[in-house]
A and B are shown apart, each in its own frame.
With several copies, the nearest count.
Chain A
Amino acid sequence: MVTFPGSLDDGDARRAVGLAGAEAVALWHGDHDLRGVDAVILPGGFSYGDYLRSGAIARFAPVMAEVVAAARGGMPVLGICNGFQVLCESHLLPGALIRNHHRKFVCRDQRLKIENASTSWTHDYVTGEEVTLVLKNGEGAYVADLATLDRLEGEGLVVARYLGDDPNGSMRAIAGITTERGNVVGLMPHPEHAVDSLCGPGTGGLPFFTSVLQSLAASAPAASAGTPPPQGPPPLQGHSSGRELVL
Chain B
Amino acid sequence: MPRVIVEVMPKPGILDPQGKAVLGAMPRLGFGGVVDVRQGKRFELELAEEVTEDQLAQVRQVAEALLSNPVIEDYTVRVEAS
Residues of A within 8 A of B (CB): 48-49, 51-53, 56-57, 60-61, 88-89, 94-96, 98-103, 141, 143-145, 169
Contact = CB atoms under 8 A, between A and B. Distances in A.
Given A103-B17, A143-B14, A53 B69 contact: yes
A56 B14 contact: no
A99 B67 CA distance: 16
Nearest to B21: A51
Contact of A100 (B14, B17, B22, B29): B17
Contacts of A49: 17, 21
Nearest to B72: A96
Chain A contact residues, majority secondary structure? loop
Interface residues of B, number: 17
A89 B66 CA distance: 9
A180 to B, nearest CB: 18
- 3 tightest A-B contacts by CB? A51-B18, A96-B71, A51-B21
15 contacts: A49-B21, A51-B21, A51-B39, A52-B21, A52-B22, A52-B66, A57-B21, A57-B22, A57-B66, A60-B29, A88-B71, A94-B71, A101-B15, A143-B71, A144-B71
Interface of B: 13-15, 17-18, 21-22, 24-25, 28-29, 39, 66-67, 69, 71-72
Contact of B25 (A57, A89, A95, A102): A57
B17 A89 contact: no
B72 A48 contact: no
A88 B72 CA distance: 11
Chain B contact residues, majority secondary structure? helix
Given A60-B28, A143-B14, A169-B15, A48 B69 contact: no
Given A56-B66, A56-B69, A144-B71, A51 B17 contact: yes
Contacts of B17: 49, 51, 98-103, 141, 169
Nearest to A50: B21
B39 A52 contact: yes
A137 B39 CA distance: 20
Given A60-B66, A98-B17, 11 more contacts: A48-B24, A56-B69, A89-B69, A98-B72, A99-B18, A103-B17, A141-B15, A141-B17, A143-B72, A144-B71, A169-B17
